[in-house]
Amino acid sequence: MSLADQALAQQVENAIASDIRVAGLPIVVRAADGEISLKGVVDTLIQKELVHSIAQGIQGVKRVTTVELIVKEENKD
């Protein structure tokens, strides 16, 4: 990973961590040539969409992939 990609990944991580709605979720951010991949687990589809939006809003991000960002299944009693 280049220094630019490391810096971009750090910016995305910081933005996610600073949003109270998704802070603390186990999300790994990877960057390659301006493309961000998010991996981890979120509680709701809304959180998944929010994390995608946060990452996309960072200057220098060309594309965001959330294929590996899993939404927990809701409990079925």
Domains and CATH numbers, the chain: 3-71 (3.30.1340)
Coil, helix or strand at residue 51: helix
Alpha-carbon gap, residue 70 to 77, rounded angstroms: 21
What confidence tier does 73 reach under pLDDT thresholds 50, 70, 90?
confident
Question: Given a cut of 70, is residue 77 above it in pLDDT?
Answer: no
β partners of residue 65? 37
What confidence tier does 75 reach under pLDDT thresholds 50, 70, 90?
low
Q: What is the pLDDT of residues 16-51, one digit of tens each?
A: 999 999 999 999 999 999 999 999 999 999 999 999
Query: What average pLDDT does the segment 1-12 reach?
Result: 93
Q: How many CB atoms lie within 10 A of CB 12?
A: 25
What pLDDT sits at residue 74?
60
